[in-house]
Amino acid sequence: MTQRDADAAPDATPQIPQRRVLVTEIPGPRSRELSSRRLRAVAQGVSSTVQTYVDAAAGAIVRDVDGNCLIDLGSGIAVTSIGHAAPALIEAVSEQVARFSHTCFMVAPYEGYVAVCEELAELTPGRHEKRSALFNSGAEAVENAVKIARHATGRQAVAVFDHAYHGRTNLTMALTAKNFPYKDRFGPFAPEVYRVPMSYPLRDPKGMTGEQAAARAIDQLSVQVGAENLACVLVEPIQGEGGFVVPAPGFLPTLASWCAEHGIIFVADEIQSGFARTGAWFACDHEGVVPDLVTTAKGIAGGLPLAAVTGRAELMDAVHVGGLGGTYGGNPVSCAGALAAIRTMRELDLPAAARRIEAQVRPRLDSMAKRHSGIAEVRGRGAMLAIELADPDGLRPDASSAQAIARACHAKGVIVLTCGTWGNVIRLLPPLVISGDLLDEGLDVLEQAAVDVLG
Ligand SMILES: *Cc1c(COP(=O)(O)O)cnc(C)c1O
């Protein structure tokens, strides 16, 4: 906390005008000072996208310690969908932390946990009877989804896809596709994980349908693993870290019905794509796919750490009493944050806001792609949109241009993130409450950065 904030009334909420303001170069002197302190205290394995240190944030603006105000088109990786410092979140979390901050739900339970599970039952795909269990991080939710699927089926094998990202714990490293930086020299990894091809329209054979891409994966699983050995198929309905890969229509429904036929649990990892981000409450909703289990985290609680596994009551309740849990899982402050975030998403109709963002952003990305042959594809859904940088003929990934464009945006006060198996995708994940003007200004900067880098 800065001295300025410490002097303010304790309940003062940061009021930051929703404008990009650059008062120093980025990073400025105070950020550079913090960077050198950091070098002596923080493990270098933990990296940061931008080198500017945050002082406060509100709406879609992040103010740094030098007074620069940056446009946030990353939302802390799809977390602050309701915007920074959302008033409902501040109020609910402050009230809860003053009432009690922890009892451990496994020791002495409380209403907030139950209410979050009720909301999850209401909002996740499907009208069947559901149960939820709450955790701290996305990776922990994915680990627990696999535990539940194995327990409920008595089977061990887990199927995952090329380009998948499911976390950084030991089991989730095994589930994640990309070696560097996530897995390199961190093995050995958990066994009984089988990887099959994803539907990746840009890089699949021309004209391959979603059904055909699913058949390709299903054939490999049938031959190499055996349907009867599979506990679950785990898939991101739109891949996040892997490059915002949107499978061709038909891929997810075909996989889901094959799973149902063979008693395999279909698990949708909606940690990045969920909670209004793609223009529906969940990305599975776009094709009417109803997963057996859904993992959620990121956008669920407006920035407080919370994650969940939600699924069919008979699967979730198959686990013995005491088989699921953790000290902090479903922390009361995080639950208060989630209830406020979900209320805000409903009140402001943030799924519709995500669709409006798509209507504004996609034409601009399309026109960039028309101008620059190095932009191989514009893809995504709702407020989860990306451009893939690649050589126009061979589709050879162009990570250096993607990184250069991102760095140019950062220097001009716009936070954008990259992703993709080859690091050659620029992704946009703005807060869903961003104004049209601010979004346009951020896109102006991105467009100019692309011209500077690609010519
Ligand atoms: C971020 C992410 C995870 C891991 O979540 P953490 O909270 O970082 O552990 C898992 N799956 C997907 C799809 C994600 O985007």
What domains lie within the chain, and their CATH numbers? 3-82+349-454 (3.90.1150.10), 89-347 (3.40.640.10)
**From ligand 1's centre to the CA of 101, what distance in Å?**
25
Question: Which is the closest atom of ligand 1 to the Cα of 241?
Answer: 15
Residue 449: strand, helix, or coil: helix
Q: Please determine, for residue 269, whether its predicted confidence score (pLDDT) is greater than 90.
A: yes
Distance 298 CA to ligand 1 centre (A): 7
CB-ligand 1 contact for 142 (6 Å cutoff): yes
Å from CA of 145 to ligand 1 middle: 13
**Residue 293 · residue 315 · CB < 8 Å:** yes
Tell me which residue has its CA closest to atom 11 in ligand 1: 166
Tokens for 161?
């896809």
Provide the pLDDT for residue 314: 98
Q: What is the Å distance from ligand 1's center to 207 Cα? A: 31
Burial label for 390, CB within 10 Å (0-12, 13-18, 19+), is buried
- Confidence class for position 30, pLDDT limits 50, 70, 90: very high
Nearest protein CA to atom 10 of ligand 1, as residue: 166
Strand order in the sheet with 61-64: 54-58, 61-64, 69-72, 414-415
Using the mean position of ligand 1's atoms as its centre, give its distance from the Cα of residue 295 in Å.
Answer: 9
- 193 residue type, one letter: V
Q: Is the CB of 332 under 6 A from ligand 1?
A: no
Query: For 53-98, what is each residue's pLDDT tens digit?
Result: 999 999 999 999 999 999 999 999 999 999 999 999 999 999 999 9
Residue 69 Cβ < 6 Å to ligand 1: no
The predicted-structure confidence for 197-237, as pLDDT tens digits, reads as follows 999 999 999 999 999 999 999 999 999 999 999 999 999 99
Does the C-beta of 270 come closer than 6 Å to ligand 1? no
Q: Of all protein residues, whose CA lies closest to atom 6 belonging to ligand 1?
A: 138
Ligand 1: centre distance to CA 138 (Å): 4
Q: How many of the other CB atoms lie within 10 Å of CB of 136? A: 18
Q: Which two tokens stand for residue 178?
A: 């990309």
Instruction: Choose one of 46, 134, 140, 142 to mutate for the ligand 1 pocket test, by most ligand atoms within 8 angstroms of C-beta.
Output: 142
The number of residues making up the chain comes to 455
Task: Give the separation between CA 51 and CA 172, rounded to whole angstroms.
Answer: 28
- Ligand 1 midpoint to CA 438 (Å): 28
Cβ(171) – ligand 1 distance below 6 Å: no
The answer to whether the CB of 119 is under 6 A from ligand 1 is no
What amino acid is encoded at 352 in this protein? A
Strand 193-196 to strand 230-235: parallel, antiparallel, or no bridges (unpaired)? unpaired
- Ligand 1 centre distance from Cα of residue 166 (Å): 5
- The verdict on the CB of residue 139 being under 6 Å from ligand 1 is yes
**% of the chain with per-residue pLDDT over 90:** 96
Name the residue of 294, 298, 427 whose CB sits within 8 Å of the most ligand 1 atoms, as the mutation to test its pocket.
298
> Residues 9-24: pLDDT tens digits?
444 445 899 999 999 9
Q: What is the pLDDT of residue 15?
A: 84
Is the CB of residue 271 below 6 angstroms from any atom belonging to ligand 1? yes
Angle, CA of 186, 191 and 193, to the nearest 5°: 100
Q: Can you tell me which atom of ligand 1 is nearest the CA of 168?
A: 9
- pLDDT mean across residues, the chain: 96
pLDDT digits (tens, 9 = 90+) for 339-388: 999 999 999 999 999 999 999 999 999 999 999 999 999 999 999 999 99
pTM of structure: 0.96
Nearest ligand 1 atom to alpha carbon 139:
9
In degrees, to the nearest 5, what angle opens at C-alpha 239 toward C-alphas 234 and 244? Answer: 175
d(CA 212, ligand 1 centre) in Å: 28
